[in-house]
Every structure is written in C-alpha cells, then in structure tokens.
Structure 1
Amino acid sequence: MKSVLRVACSRAHLQEVRDFVRNYLDSRQLSEVVVNQVVLAVDEVVANFIIHANGEDETQFLDLTLAIDEHDLNVEIADNGDTIFLPGPHQSPDLRAYIQQGRKGGMGMALVNRLMDRVEFFTRGNHTVCHLSKHLA
C-alpha cells in the first residue's frame, strides 16, 4: 500500500513529516530501530530539500511517497521547485577533523547513506527526486 503526503517548504512541517513516516511504519510491525532509522533519514533529506533547494519558500512544496513492496520500503521525495538539487557524490567525512574544527552540519547525507540501503538523487523533468530504499527482512 502506498501513502502520500504533500508539505510546503517550511521547517515547521518537519514534525508532520516525521509523524507521517512513523505512523505509516508503525502499522507494519517493524522494529523500533528500523522505524527510527527511516524517520531520521527521511527527515534529513526533507530538511535538505526545504532549506538548501527551496530556501524555505513556503510557496514551494514537496511530495513524499511511502510504499512497501514485498520486503522493501521505498521512499520518494519529489521537489516541485524550479531549482535542481543534486548533492555531490557521497564521501565519508573525517569525524576527527570535524571535531577539531568545531564544524556543525554537513554530516546529514553521510548518515542517510548509512541508514538506508540505497540513496539516489535524479531529475524528473525540471524537478529533483530522491529515492530511498531499505530492505525489511
């Protein structure tokens, strides 16, 4: 079964996104660890779309689709703004350097890549789409 949510590009909607994902997954008898991993990964990608791709422009929106196909969870986050947002290739950040420099931020996509089995960004027309998948044993 598929479930869809549309939200405006505002940080104020991040809790709504987290609740939507959690409610969808809670009804499928998954472990709390898996549910928390997916909620965190989706929250990070949605926040990146809202902040970096759309500059928190509430006139823009994101479509979030969740679907479970046999043993795989598939999440699609589609940006309907006019800016193409394709993060660069994933590189594991040097945690020691981050700590020494006192840096904040920049760790989110590394975390998403660790939490999910597959993370893909691509364009559909003039919109950016992120597809996340996780195998549910």
Structure 2
Amino acid sequence: MNNSIQVNCTKKNLKIIRDFVTEYLHALTLTDILMNQIVLAVDEICANLIIHANQEDPSKHILLSIHKLTTNKPGDTLQFAISDWGMAFDHFSYKEPDLQKKIKNNEGGGWGLLLVRRLMDKVEFKTEGSKNTCLLYKKIK
C-alpha cells in the first residue's frame, strides 16, 4: 500500500487527499469516528497549506506521507507528515482563539488549528531550509 501522495496546490485536490487517507485507514480497521477525526485533521492542515501558504498556486505542491510508528506501549501511533515549500506558518506567535468571544461575536474562521489540536494527540511544525512540515500524530489500538 502506498503511504505517500503529492498533489498540486488547488482546493479540488483536497478530495484526492481525503480519499487517500481514508483508503490507508480502512486497512487498519479503525472505528468510523476515529477515521473521520483523522481525515478531518489532515484535510484541515492540507487546506491551510494550499490556501494560505501557497495561495492556491497549481505550480506548487504539497506532499503527504503516512507512517505507522511502533512503540513499546500497547498500540501503534500514526504519523502524518504534510510538507510544502510555501510560506511557513508562524506557530510560535499563534494564539488559540477565545472560543467564547468568537461564538458571542459570531466570528467565522480561525478554528482549524484549534480543531486539529483537539483531534490529534500531537501536532508539530518544523522548517528545514525552504521545506515546511506539519507532523500530526494519532495513537491507535
């Protein structure tokens, strides 16, 4: 089974990414809830990279790789490495939105990373040269 995919930075390719992740996860016999949470988190990060970091430029691309990490603890961990060569996300200055304020003011947008951090066990960002990578981790049974 292929564990990586590269797509051009257009929103229409988000479906290709969701289908790729879903197909990979089906082989692991996860619950529908867990599978949907993972697909949603990966989709959100990919959408942010396509739209914000790469301005939907089809000449640019993102790369998604999935790895099953075996640990000494019961169960395994899935790692989703999502890389691009666009504008790096400044995660050091990111401040989680005030949910109560956003709801009270009926503000849309800005929920993505908060959601991803709630759905996944660990989220990391790293930049090496011009390559930016977001690492998502999820423990599975």
Structure 1 distance, partners of 2:91, 2:15, is 23
TM-score (ref. length: structure 2) = 0.89
Provide the aligned C-alpha RMSD in A: 1.6
Residue in 2 that maps onto 1:72: 77
Letter of the aligned partner of 2:17 in structure 1?
V
Residue in 2 that maps onto 1:106: 110
In the TM superposition, residue 87 of structure 1 has moved relative to its aligned partner by 3.0
| Secondary structure class of the residue paired with 1:52 | helix
2:137 pairs, out of 127, 130, 133, with: 133
Residue in 1 that maps onto 2:73: none
Letter of the aligned partner of 1:65 in structure 2?
S
Structure 2 distance, partners of 1:100, 1:42, is 28
Residue segments in structure 2 that go unaligned for 5+ positions in a row: 71-75
In the TM superposition, residue 94 of structure 1 has moved relative to its aligned partner by 2.1
| Secondary structure class of the residue paired with 1:56 | coil
Structure 1 distance, partners of 2:43, 2:93, is 20
TM-score (ref. length: structure 1) = 0.92
In the TM superposition, residue 102 of structure 1 has moved relative to its aligned partner by 1.8
Say whether residues 1:49 and 2:49 are aligned partners: yes
Taking only the aligned residue pairs, the percentage that are identical comes to: 40
Residue in 2 that maps onto 1:61: 61
Structure 2 distance, partners of 1:44, 1:50, is 10
Residue in 2 that maps onto 1:11: 11
Residue in 1 that maps onto 2:126: 122
Structure 2 distance, partners of 1:61, 1:110, is 24
In the TM superposition, residue 117 of structure 1 has moved relative to its aligned partner by 0.6
Residue segments in structure 1 that go unaligned for 5+ positions in a row: none
| Secondary structure class of the residue paired with 1:93 | coil
Structure 2 distance, partners of 1:105, 1:87, is 17
| Secondary structure class of the residue paired with 1:11 | coil
Structure 2 distance, partners of 1:122, 1:61, is 17
Query: Are residues 2 and 131 of structure 1, via their aligned partners in 2, closer, same or farther at CA, if it must alter by over 3 Å?
Result: farther
Letter of the aligned partner of 2:23 in structure 1?
N
Letter of the aligned partner of 1:129 in structure 2?
T
